[in-house]
Structure 1
Amino acid sequence: MANKTFKLNTGQDIPAIGLGTWQSEPGKVREAVVHALKAGYRLIDCAYCYGNEQEVGQGLAEAFAAGIVKREEVFVVTKVWATYTTRCALGLQKSLENLGLEYVDLFLVHWPLLMNPEGNDDRFPKLPNGERDIIRSHNHVDTWKQMEALLATGKTKAIGVSNYSKRYLEQLLPHATVVPAVNQIENHPALPQQEIVDLCKEKGIHIMAYSPLGSTGSPLFTAEPVVKIAEKRGVKPSTVLLSYHIPRGSTVLAKSVTRERIEENLKLIDLDADDMKLLNDWSDKLTREGQLMRFVYPPFGVDFGFPDKS
């Protein structure tokens, strides 16, 4: 599975599995990136907001210098943070400098909102009452127009979005000259977000799944259908949860800084139609009963149009 790729609407090949770096412990990211590339990963996902792009860049530089991979063999993804959504070119430049790269393969809008670019913090400006300092008059379509202009600079090969609901995509697409190559969303059997997945498939937008295992101590690991398939296949529940995305035609991001888990996460299996039916039936049941589980939803105080949060 390490070699499996999907085709983007740009013609680029994107790996089916990548290394995620969100919330990876400081001081461990460089080594995780190097080891992942040694193990066979060819996609590294990062973001300005994560605050560890420099470490990612160090890992990439080390891997390039050691001859583990060449730059053109690695698909690097980063994202423009919410304090830079009116300054996308600057956001991209800062990320490139952090990463030590001349270009990224994919640049995403991290969330469709604007936090005060002149606020009291570069990443998380707050109001005196402690709430996020958000400019509510901002239109996310304006951000996308800036993203489209970046393609001509050669500093990113593709552009896309992240955390976009069906509603937000339907607001964006009529005004888009360039259809997003990717929509990166939280995705797993307990949050299938099928309405987004179906719209993206129809429009040629590739899904990239983050938080595929849920969160630390996630109930997904003990969910009956996941355990049943894991026992039948002789693998861990995490393998089932990561493998779920491949028949859906999605790229999955696996986050870890430990060598063993980095290697283990790469060992995806082919889930058959029966396996997928078990998982999809469970998804449908959770949807019907209003029991969907979303593990990542920052306190922006904004309705992003997700049915389970609206």
Structure 2
Amino acid sequence: MDKEMIPQVALNSGYRMPLIGLGTACDHIPGNLTSTLINAIELGYRHIDTASLYKTEEFVGQAIAQALERGLIDNRSDVFVTSKLWCSDADHDLVLPALKETLRKLGLDYVDLYLVHFPLRINQGTGTPFQKDEILPFDMKGTWEAMEVCCRLGLAKSIGVSNFSSKKLSQLLTYATIPPAVNQVEMNPAWQQRKLRKFCDENGIHVSAWSPLGANGAHWGSFAVMKSPILGDLAVTKGKSIAQISLRWAYQQGASPIVKSFNEERMKENLQIFDWELTQEELDKINQIPQKRGYPGEMFVSPNGPYKSLEELWDEEV
């Protein structure tokens, strides 16, 4: 697939982002991840999503370097790279060193997009899972100021957030001198984020969708997408897969899905969502799917932390 065939969105930062990304979060990092990512670039993927927490940044960097060597891409700028600041570095003085470490692992001079992974801070050096007593007060203002420094230094072309509710975004916008370009959140036909999408749309923030297929209940998530009778019927009618129907739905909502499959056939299939569309009647059917968050986020709730309930964590968007 020619990269020109993947539409792009103009972010509020002035940069453009491909409207489908390949995610690299995995429970067990496959031994052939670098070659899988090179293959993804060869298939046409031009947005790769990683994070400090995923421990896949080095593989992403190796894949880009080898894709350049092999002539699969002409320039570093041909691939859009997103990475994320983990909660243990969500503090004013830790953000810049964390991004520099990410760039070292990637072997790159800049990331295209750097996101605050979660509106939370935990003890330095802590990964996941973490204990409730490791959750610390989160200085959103100080953290965001340091994110803006990263942007002004050119180490991150665009900056944004992940897993922020409308209320938390609203708070952030009161003091941000560089507004977040993206909010990456759980979003799929079984968790459509209507309220949040409306808020982001009104404030010029692009929504990126993680878990666009519902995560299939490995440790969390559900089969509400992949076993949805409504989506199953639409897939038969359209001659598409349920995954393609779900990804096309997200795209037609103006969001950019982050897909995660290392299976070559599914990787190809996930890119084939741009030359057909869902009708309004079909979209109305998808709106009838019962809504439930797949990832509740109980680990971020603590009696002594900033969020004492799931309602506080998601600000009623549960």
Structure 1 match to 2:246: 241
SS at match of 1:36: helix
Letter paired with 2:21: G
**Could you tell me whether the CA contact under 8 Å between 2:57 and 2:102 is conserved in 1?**
yes
Structure 2 match to 1:263: 268
Structure 2 match to 1:112: 119
Which of 207, 227, 233 aligns to 1:228? It is: 233
- CA offsets, 1:91-144, max 9 Å, x none? 111111111101010100000111112xxx442484xxx4351112x3212211
Structure 2 match to 1:207: 207
Q: Structure 1 CA distance, aligned partners of 2:266 and 2:315?
A: 31
Task: Please give the residue correspondences for 1:15-164 in structure 2 after superposition, counting only pairs within 5 Å.
Answer: 15-23=18-26, 25-26=28-29, 27-69=31-73, 70-86=75-91, 87-117=94-124, 121-124=125-128, 126=130, 130-131=131-132, 133-136=134-137, 138-164=138-164
SS at match of 1:252: strand
SS at match of 2:82: strand
Letter paired with 1:277: D
Q: How far has the Cα of 1:167 moved from its partner?
A: 1.3
Letter paired with 1:307: E
Q: Structure 2 CA distance, aligned partners of 1:306 and 1:28?
A: 40
Segments of structure 1 that go 5 or more residues without pairing to the other structure are none
Which of 2, 6, 12 aligns to 1:9? It is: 12
Segments of structure 2 that go 5 or more residues without pairing to the other structure are 218-222, 302-306
Q: How far has the Cα of 1:8 moved from its partner?
A: 0.7
Structure 2 match to 1:293: 293
Q: Structure 2 CA distance, aligned partners of 1:307 and 1:210?
A: 20
Q: Structure 1 CA distance, aligned partners of 2:6 and 2:116?
A: 27
Q: Structure 1 CA distance, aligned partners of 2:143 and 2:33?
A: 30
Q: Structure 2 CA distance, aligned partners of 1:12 and 1:67?
A: 24
% identical aligned pairs: 34
Q: How far has the Cα of 1:60 moved from its partner?
A: 1.3
- Could you tell which deviates more after superposition, 215-224 or 48-57? 215-224
Letter paired with 1:250: A
**Could you tell me whether the CA contact under 8 Å between 1:9 and 1:204 is conserved in 2?**
yes
Is the alpha carbon distance of 1:247 and 1:125 closer, same or farther for their aligned partners in structure 2, counting shifts above 3 Å?
Answer: closer
Aligned pairs, how many?
295
Q: Structure 2 CA distance, aligned partners of 1:47 and 1:224?
A: 34
SS at match of 1:123: coil
Q: Structure 2 CA distance, aligned partners of 1:199 and 1:208?
A: 14
- Could you tell which deviates more after superposition, 269-278 or 250-259? 269-278
**Could you tell me whether the CA contact under 8 Å between 2:190 and 2:224 is conserved in 1?**
no
Letter paired with 1:133: E
SS at match of 1:158: strand
**Could you tell me whether the CA contact under 8 Å between 2:216 and 2:226 is conserved in 1?**
no
Structure 1 match to 2:257: 252
Letter paired with 1:189: P
Structure 2 match to 1:305: 314
Q: Structure 2 CA distance, aligned partners of 1:88 and 1:253?
A: 24
Q: How far has the Cα of 1:266 moved from its partner?
A: 0.7
Task: Please give the residue correspondences for 1:160-199 in structure 2 after superposition, counting only pairs within 5 Å.
Answer: 160-199=160-199
Is the alpha carbon distance of 1:68 and 1:221 closer, same or farther for their aligned partners in structure 2, counting shifts above 3 Å?
Answer: same
- Could you tell which deviates more after superposition, 233-242 or 263-272? 263-272
Letter paired with 1:280: N
**Could you tell me whether the CA contact under 8 Å between 2:6 and 2:18 is conserved in 1?**
yes
Letter paired with 2:16: D
SS at match of 2:9: strand
Is the alpha carbon distance of 1:294 and 1:251 closer, same or farther for their aligned partners in structure 2, counting shifts above 3 Å?
Answer: same
Q: Structure 2 CA distance, aligned partners of 1:124 and 1:245?
A: 28
**Could you tell me whether the CA contact under 8 Å between 1:144 and 1:176 is conserved in 2?**
yes
SS at match of 1:244: helix
Q: How far has the Cα of 1:2 moved from its partner?
A: 4.4
SS at match of 2:121: coil
